[in-house]
Amino acid sequence: MKLSNLKILVTGGAGFIGSHLVDALIEKNNQLIVLDDFSSGKKSNLAQASASGKLEIFDQCILNYQEIYPLFSEVDVVFHMATRNVRLSLKQPTIVHDVNTTGTLNVLKAAKGNGVQKFLYCSSSEVNGTAVKVPMKEDYAYNPETIYGASKLTGEYYTQVFERSGWLNTVIARPHNNYGPREHWEGMLGEVIPRFILMGLLNEKPTIFGDGKQTRDFTYVTETVRHLIAITENDQCRGEIFNICKGNEVSVLDIAKIISKQLGRELDPVFLKSRPSDVLRLFGDNSKLKEFVSSAPEMDIEEGMQLTIDWFKENIDLEMVKGSEKLADINWDKLDSEPWLEG
């Protein structure tokens, strides 16, 4: 199924990866619907897409089934990208559970009820937990270490049930850590690469939680998007799960070194206590992706990092970031609640 001249709905389309996906699908001449509650997404991420005249945006929560159901009318393809984030799940597991499991079930049901032809569920490498053996294939033993990881895994299982029952034609993507333009830097959403870049640009010392030897398979965002589209277009991929990753292992210390080199100044990080439930090792095997779509993410981290630094320099106002609470050292325990005390 070629993704061109179709009506495509993207949940979470105002988010980091979702908005790049929307841009790429508009580029392919599709009509887009974004369903997003803007809990972490931003209208500004959709500025380019809005200017195309091919985008409709609905500010809706996927937990409101009656409201979202009609939005799927006459939709050909759904990309389910909406999620609540891993660090939130440390303090407020219930909302993360609700959105990632009940919300996913709602999106699956609405897609089935409206006769959607193709459904992509965007999962996460966090379903694996810390790698014991690398690189991790798609059938790696599932040991999620957070409610986020476990709820993303539940979403995979629900998607597989809709596939096995013959209710929907589905595919599951399991991206590893993405980086690039529009990545979250602020507060609890802030990820390591943009935080390091902004701290470096501000001549401040970035924070490393733990010893910095934890690794991720960092993948440039537009490369992830290209492969989300590729596995959705390719009928052989139906019912399968795919790691979407560069297939390299990069530590947080490596990231600090690469950014130091590219900014031309030592970052000199400060080391603080480890983040609870931090996954210590992630390194994906992308050979299944290569086998099915004859391609996988290729961009070297140095090249992707330079593009990311350039974007942050051009698009983020350093005066606004300076001294901002949003770049606070520890970005997971500012929430008041303890998980056991929430309703």
Ligand X SMILES: NC(=O)c1ccc[n+]([C@@H]2O[C@H](COP(=O)([O-])OP(=O)(O)OC[C@H]3O[C@@H](n4cnc5c(N)ncnc54)[C@H](O)[C@@H]3O)[C@@H](O)[C@H]2O)c1
If one asks whether residue 78 binds ligand X (CB under 6 A), the answer comes out as no
CB of residue 45 to ligand X, shortest distance in Å:
8
Contact set for ligand X, span 19-48 (CB under 6 A):
35-41
Please report how close the Cβ of residue 153 comes to ligand X at its closest, in angstroms.
11
Residue closest to 14 by CA, chosen among 47, 39, 36: 36
CA 167 and chain centroid, separation? 26
CB nearer to ligand X: pick between 116 and 193: 193
Considering only 3, 9, 15, 163, the residue that binds ligand X (CB under 6 A) is: 15
Task: Please tell me the count of residues contacting ligand X according to CB under 6 A.
Answer: 31
197 binds ligand X (CB under 6 A): no
Tell me whether residue 148 is one of the annotated catalytic residues: yes
Listed ranges 131-139, 173-181, 197-205, 315-323: which one lies at the site for ligand X (CB under 6 A): 173-181
Of 6, 8, 9, 16, the one binding ligand X by CB under 6 A: 16
- Name the residue among 221, 218, 215, 220 with its Cα closest to residue 282: 215
Catalytic residue selected from 121, 148, 179, 220: 148
Q: Which is nearer to ligand X, 17 or 199 (CB)?
A: 17
> Which tokens belong to 244?
């979407």
DSSP, collapsed to helix, strand or coil, labels residue 242 as strand
Contacting residues for 166 by C-beta, under 8 A, at least 6 apart:
none
95: left (phi over 0), alpha (psi -120 to 50) or beta: alpha
Does the footprint of ligand X cover residue 61 (CB under 6 A)?
A: yes
Q: What is the dihedral of CA 154, 159, 163, 168, to 10 degrees?
A: 160
For the record, the structure tokens of 83 come out as: 């999620």
118-149 residues labelled b (16+ CB within 10 A) or e (exposed): bbbbbbbbbbbbebeeebbebebeeebbbbbb
- Residue 181 as a binder of ligand X (CB under 6 A): the answer is no
Tell me the CA distances in angstroms from 153 to 129, 159, 195, 276, one per residue in order: 11, 10, 28, 20
Of 3, 10, 14, 293, the one binding ligand X (CB under 6 A) is 14
Q: Residues 6 or more apart from 237 whose CB is under 8 A from it?
A: 171, 231, 292, 293
Q: Is 63 in the site for ligand X (CB under 6 A)?
A: yes
Interaction residues for ligand X, span 116-155 (CB under 6 A): 122, 124-125, 152
Cβ atoms of 202 and 270 closer than 8 Å: no
Helix (H/G/I), strand (E/B), else coil: 55: strand
With CB under 6 A as the contact rule, which of the stretches 1-9, 15-23, 69-77, 164-172 interacts with ligand X? 15-23
Q: Which of 9, 57, 72, 84 binds ligand X (CB under 6 A)?
A: 84
- Give the residue with the Cβ less far from ligand X, 47 or 270: 47
Task: Tell me the C-alpha distance between 100 and 83, whole Å.
Answer: 6
Residue 137 or 205: the one with the smaller Cβ distance to ligand X is 137
- The CB-of-122 to ligand X minimum distance in angstroms stands at 4
Q: Does 101 bind ligand X (CB under 6 A)?
A: no
Contact residues toward ligand X (CB under 6 A) are 11-12, 14-18, 35-41, 61-63, 81-85, 99, 103, 122, 124-125, 152, 175, 177-178
Catalytic residue ranges:
148
